[in-house]
Amino acid sequence: MDRLLVALAVAVVVVAVAAVLQRRGTAVPEPPQGAPAVPGEVDRSDFDRPSAPWLVVVFSSRSCATCAGVIDRVAPLESEQVAVCEVEVGEHPDLHRRYGIDAVPLTLIVDAEGLVRTSFAGPVSVTHLWAAVAEAREPGSTPPGCSDGH
C-alpha cells in the first residue's frame, strides 16, 4: 500500500511539472529588450566627404574599450569610393542626439542618398564588416553566410 501511495504522489508531481512546462512552452516570447536604436537614414552633409558614394560611420565613445577595435577595423575601408568617419560622443554629442544613438559602438554603412544599408551594434569582425560593405556596393557579390549585417 505504501508503494502505491508513493507511486501516486510521484505521478501527481510529474503531471504538475509537465503542465507547468507545457504552459511555459506555449507562451508568446517577449521581444528582445534593450536593442540599440539604429537610424534608417542620415544626412550625408553631417559627415566627412558627403559626395563619396559610400559612408561607413562609427558612433563611439572614448570610454568604450570595444569602440577602439571597431575603429581600427573600419579605418582601412577609407578610399575614393568609401568615406570613413568616427563620431565620438564627447566631440559630437549633437549628432548622437540627432540620430538617437543610445549605445556604442554602432557602425553604419550608408549609401550616397543617406540610406543606412547595414548596421552593426557592438563589435564586428573584419570579415563581416568587409563583406557587408562589398554586398552593399554590389548586391549578390557575397556568398551566402559571409555577411551577417543587422
pLDDT digit string (tens) for 96-134?
999 999 999 999 999 999 999 999 999 999 888 888 888
Which regions in the chain score pLDDT beneath 50?
6-8, 10-12, 15, 17, 20-21, 26-32, 147-150
What is the dihedral angle through the alpha carbons of 112, 113, 116, 118, rounded to the nearest 10 degrees?
Answer: -40
Contacts (Cβ under 8 Å, ≥6 apart) of 123: 66, 69, 70, 105
CATH superfamily of 44-137: Glutaredoxin (3.40.30.10)
The pLDDT value given to residue 146? 56
Which of 146, 121, 133 is closest to 34 using CA atoms?
Answer: 121
For strands 116-121 and 54-60, give the pairing. unpaired
The pLDDT value given to residue 142? 62
Single-letter amino acid, residue 150: H
The pLDDT value given to residue 136? 86
Domain ranges of the chain: 44-137
The pLDDT value given to residue 50? 96
Q: What is the pTM of this model?
A: 0.72
Which of 39, 36, 68 is closest to 55 using CA atoms?
Answer: 39
